[in-house]
Amino acid sequence: METADFLQILDREGRLLAAAAAEAGTGAKVPTCPQWQVGDLVRHTGAVHRWAAALVAEGLTAPPPLGDAPDLDGAELVDWYRDSHRLLVDTLAAAPADVECWTFLPAPCPSPLAFWTRRQAHETTVHRYDAEAARGGTPSPIATDFAADGIDELLRGFHARSRSKVRTERPRALRVRAVDGGADAVWTVRLSAEPPVTSRDGSGEAEAELTGTADQLYLALWNRTPVPSVTGDRSLAALWREKSGI
């Protein structure tokens, strides 16, 4: 996917998040994040948007502190989120392609601008799902290619870092297969006492396999929904759910 594609998704997903938050009300519980109300979700996502926008706009080479959200609630808080989202989209759209700034995932990305547009598109999509879960009703769809990209970012980016807690005492292998994503929509996660090592292939034996459509797996791996199908050793799926929180 191209940076322009991620920017378009980020724009759409933020608008959907704001609409769902307004409809649910900022005092509504978020069932996918039981410790949060919608107001907490909106404050968090808006603060992250402003933080990422500052990194790109100012070309920062180290991350600044995450700023505090204003003491607002209800419609005023949702409007503050809309402003935060618009600031981020406009900043990314105006940034030069060769902008230099801090990034934090080991998975290769063409540029810092591509990194932040992709990262914020996924950040916003997951939290849009949270807002729609609080609102109720049918959630907005997630495109197959975007969902597969998000699985890749999570497995080969977030969980390649030393802070990943998905570890096993002895070497184990977990496979993730998106049935609608084509031949390359399969990942093998090799677990051990060290950070997971994930390859985008189906080579070698795996003790468990998580299977579903790309959008189902995307939400399941972010612990928003149950895994659609598990074959083999189900304890590896349980380990993921217990230890993979970001």
* Cα Rg, the chain, nearest whole Å: 18
Q: How many CA atoms lie within 13 A of 115 on its CB side?
A: 20
Query: What's the N-to-C CA distance of the chain in angstroms?
Result: 24
CB–CB of 214/182 below 8 Å? no
128 pLDDT more than 80: yes
Residue 28: the pLDDT is 98
Confidence band of 218 (pLDDT split at 50, 70, 90): very high
For 128, the 3-state DSSP assignment is helix
Cα torsion 41, 43, 49, 51: sign: negative
Query: Mean pLDDT throughout 168-192?
Result: 96
Query: Mean pLDDT throughout 57-85?
Result: 96
For 67, the 3-state DSSP assignment is coil
H or E element, residue 230: strand 229-232
Mean predicted lDDT score pLDDT of the chain: 96
149/230 Cα distance (integer angstroms)? 21
Helix ranges, the chain (H): 3-24, 38-58, 74-94, 112-135, 144-156, 214-221, 234-243
Residue 74: the pLDDT is 98
84 pLDDT more than 90: yes
Confidence band of 183 (pLDDT split at 50, 70, 90): confident
Measured from the Cβ of residue 110, the count of other Cβ atoms closer than 10 Å reads 11
17/139 Cα distance (integer angstroms)? 11
Confidence band of 71 (pLDDT split at 50, 70, 90): very high
Q: What is the pLDDT of residues 138-159, one digit of tens each?
A: 999 999 999 999 999 999 999 9
Q: What is the pLDDT of residues 35-53, one digit of tens each?
A: 999 999 999 999 999 999 9
Residue 106: the pLDDT is 83
